[in-house]
A and B are shown apart, each in its own frame.
Chain A
Amino acid sequence: MAKQSAEVVVQGLKKILISEEQELDEEVQAKVEMLIAELQGKKHGSHLHCKDPDARKLDHGFHFFKTNIFDAHPEFFRELAEGQHPKFLVVACSDSRVSPSVVLNFKPGEAFESRNIANMVPQFDRIRHTEIGAVIEYAIKSLQVDNILIMGHSRCGGIERLMKLPDHTQTFDFIDEWVKIGLPAKKKVLQEAGNLPFEEQLTLCEKESVRNSMGNLLTYPFVRDAVVNGTLTLRGGYYDFVNGSFEQWKMCPKPCH
């Protein structure tokens, strides 16, 4: 009965679509097509993108996820829709090569992720840095994550920009202001390894900047409290995609003897 009534409606809608008397605007037409697809239980939209390879890429990507992952684990996703309980907050770079979900195989629900230029965490500043502040605050106060991982990586454009400043040939209004968060790391690298080739200084700064950001995390009172109480571990990581390696470290409270 339900199937029949759906078919009747679909026929009616199709008539409207092809009617020469009524011309639908694009938005309404898309909604009608959407409804037809839903009633027929079909995929929709893929035929629209034969001339748009970028849209096709998104379409295929989503359908792969839906078919192979979402539909394959309905109970898991039903529970996840009720709420997320990730154990990790990961701060990673926006670089297209270093998605933590890919490199560290995080499944949906496992990692609350912030991604920005050069995976930086600035010092607590309620006026200037509300964006990252909101992420950390939500992760700790609402989600109560157990770990914060700051993940650096090789060939980081943001760190390179930091190391090349000041640049009198070109300025970036927003990038230059942002990467200055890493200045203490740059200073340390120049002090301790200023004689090394620039490429090596970059690698050192990529790692030192992670440590600098770990220190900056402690300027957030709610981070400090959680670390002191033993409910939060701060971790650093470094993904080297030239050599295919990953190293990690952490702040380590230990029992005293």
Chain B
Amino acid sequence: MLNVHVFESGFTFLLADLRFQCSKWGNPADPVQILDFFQSIVEMESGRDLFDKMKHRFLSFKSHKYIANSEHYQALSKGQAPKFMVIACADSRVCPSNILGFEPGEAFTVRNVANLVPTFESGPSETNAALEFAVNSLEVRNILIVGHSCCGGIRALMSMQDDADSSFIRSWVIVGKKAKLSTKATASNLDFDRQCTHCEKESINNSLLNLLTYPWIEERLKKGLLSLHGGYYDFVDCTFEKWTLDYKGSITDGNNRVIVKDRSFWC
């Protein structure tokens, strides 16, 4: 039998009891009940933890970067003024700090499944709260959406059947539905893997168009204070493709598609 140690309130539970409670609660359980049951379940540990590897890495960061550039970090601690907002996938292989070399202070970053941006009309969400902060408070100059190869979220979108069971992933990736539809319309002759690659890029453009649905984004675009970019990282070949939304071109096009400029390919 196992106990869960409760640090602050000082009493313990039998884990068997916890299992019983979980089965009573059903799915989903009443959060107030759960939080009452656990109260404060955290235990402070400093240095004695199995998390030693992480501690060593932090100390390595501290000595090689933080202390080595202490003036810069002191200035940063007073406030951030990043030029970029980056929206990237949560995938462990595509951290923008790694692949694009962003240093602390350079990129305000959102990471979610499949680097999707919902529309303004879809209501408050995690990503658009971050957008609001980045654009209206930090006044970033660039928003860069970074997609990537072998994206599990896009694959889930492309594999989705209409009558499938609901899940969080399904409810979320549906934000990219238009990209799936245009992929099926233009690339259905390709095998499934290549369709997914096509959709990974289509989805970036779909999200760029979704950015235009935010009035305060459009306003800054019109004034030339903000640029929107798409990027695609292929980690099989290690290449990076980057393009910029041609705002005026896209608006006047009339076909609700992304017109791009300044396309480049790094290999």
Contacts and interface: CB of A to CB of B under 8 A. Distances in A.
Interface of A: 26-27, 30, 34, 37-38, 43-45, 48-49, 52, 54-55, 57-66, 69-71, 77, 80-81, 84, 86, 94-99, 101-117, 123-124, 126, 128-139, 142, 154-155, 157-158, 172-175, 177-179, 184, 211, 214-216, 218-221, 224-225, 228, 230, 235-236, 241-242, 244, 246-256
A144 to B, nearest CB: 13
B95 A101 contact: yes
Contacts of A252: 4-5, 43, 45
Interface in B52-77: 54-55, 57-58, 60-62, 65-67, 73, 76-77
A49 B262 CA distance: 9
A148 B21 CA distance: 22
A54 B141 contact: yes
Contact of B111 (A49, A114, A157, A184): A114
Interface residues of B, number: 111
A44 B42 contact: no
Interface string B21-48: 0100001110100110010111111100
Given A37-B265, A134-B171, A108 B3 contact: no
A256 to B, nearest CB: 4
Q: Is the interface of B mostly helix, strand, loop or mixed?
A: mixed
A200 B18 CA distance: 35
Contacts of A214: 41-42
Contacts of B192: none
A103 B61 CA distance: 6
B130 A116 contact: yes
A110 B15 CA distance: 30
Nearest to A242: B77
A65 B77 contact: no
Contacts of B77: 97, 154-155, 241-242
Nearest to B169: A134
A28 B54 CA distance: 48
B187 interface: no
A128 B125 CA distance: 8
B128 interface: yes
Interface of B: 1-5, 12, 14-15, 18-19, 22, 27-29, 31, 34-35, 38, 40-46, 49, 51, 54-55, 57-58, 60-62, 65-67, 73, 76-77, 80, 82-84, 90-113, 118, 124-134, 136-137, 141-142, 144, 149-150, 152-153, 166-169, 171-173, 227, 231, 235-236, 238, 240, 242, 260-267
A114 B116 CA distance: 13
Contact of A104 (B14, B57, B90): B57
Most buried by A among B5, B54, B76, B227: B54
B108 A95 contact: yes
Contacts of A44: 264-267
B112 A114 contact: yes
Given A34-B265, A59-B266, A241-B73, A131 B45 contact: no
B219 to A, nearest CB: 15
A82 to B, nearest CB: 9
A48 B168 contact: no
B234 to A, nearest CB: 9
Contacts of B55: 246, 248
A137 B112 CA distance: 12
Contacts of B126: 116-117, 129, 131-132, 178
A114 B129 CA distance: 14
Contacts of A110: 92
A136 B168 contact: yes
Given A44-B267, A137-B169, A250 B238 contact: no
A253 B108 contact: no
B113 A65 contact: no
Contacts of B118: 131
Q: Which 5 A-B pairs have the closest CB atoms?
A: A61-B101, A45-B264, A133-B168, A134-B172, A178-B129
